[in-house]
Amino acid sequence: MTPNQDPFTTWVDLRTGTLDPERDLQDKHLAADMPGYYLEQDGAEDRLVYRVSAVPVPATNDELASSTTIIEPGTVGREYHMTKGHFHANWERSEIYLGLSGEGLLLMATDDGQHRTAPLREGAANYIPGGWAHRSVNTGDEPLVFLAVYIGDAGYDYATIAEEGFPVIVVRGDDGRPEVVDNPRYRRG
């Protein structure tokens, strides 16, 4: 049997999430990439919210894709910077998030409104089963950096979260600490 692929190495800077070599960088800006994602977004200054650096592989269920995500610290209104969040297009595909640096939370939700919150910081290896939408939130003062490993044909369904939101949001409380609260705009599908 002849394998499909040659082995390869990617160097990961565990603090910054920078990859060597960089192969596929995507920057997500507040205005262009996340319209309507935050409750108090009107009038917020545009900025880079997060960057994804992917290690591309063929999009089949034989392969394991991976990426680092770097979420800049900050808030939009009272909500901490976060990723858009998605279900996988092949919704039963699972994923692992390994926290590398910074401080944050991983939100997960099903389409019938169940939700979970998990720590996302150095050493936290989170298993995201199929069927759970996932969003990462930077609750700290430094960039939040994590490594994702997922099945090559997982794909992305962004539309469901864009339309319905997550059941909960993460806001900076009056004491300056993160609070997970019900999302007043959540619409269950």
Contact between residue 146 and residue 99 where contact means Cβ atoms under 8 Å apart = yes
Residue 81 touches ligand S6P, criterion: CB under 6 A: no
Among 37, 80, 132, 150, binds ligand S6P (CB under 6 A): 150
Query: Distance (Å, rounded) from C-alpha 56 to C-alpha 131?
Result: 23
Q: Which residue has the tokens 């995507």?
A: 26
Among 19, 81, 86, 107, binds ligand S6P (CB under 6 A): 86
Residues 45-84 as x/- pattern, contact with Zn ion by CB under 5 A = ----------------------------------------
Radius of gyration of the chain (CA): 16
Residues 83-122 as x/- pattern, contact with Zn ion by CB under 5 A = ------------x---------------------------
Q: 36 CB contacts (<8 Å, ≥6 apart)? A: 162
Q: How far is the CB of 86 from Zn ion (least distance, A)?
A: 6
Q: Which is nearer to ligand S6P, 127 or 173 (CB)?
A: 127
| Candidates 14-22, 73-81, 100-108, 146-154; binding stretch for ligand S6P (CB under 6 A) | 146-154
Query: Distance (Å, rounded) from C-alpha 65 to C-alpha 60?
Result: 9
Q: Which is nearer to ligand S6P, 69 or 171 (CB)?
A: 69
Q: Which is nearer to Zn ion, 74 or 131 (CB)?
A: 131
Q: Which is nearer to ligand S6P, 69 or 101 (CB)?
A: 69
| DSSP H or E run through 125 | strand 125-128
| Adjacent-strand bridge partners of 148 | 67, 97
For 79, the token pair is: 């909500």
Q: Which is nearer to ligand S6P, 129 or 173 (CB)?
A: 129
Q: What b/e readout covers 107-139, taking b as 16+ CB neighbours within 10 angstroms?
A: bbbebeeebeebebbeeeebebeebbbbbbbbb
Binding site for ligand S6P (CB under 6 A): 52, 67, 69, 83-86, 95, 134, 136, 148, 150, 154
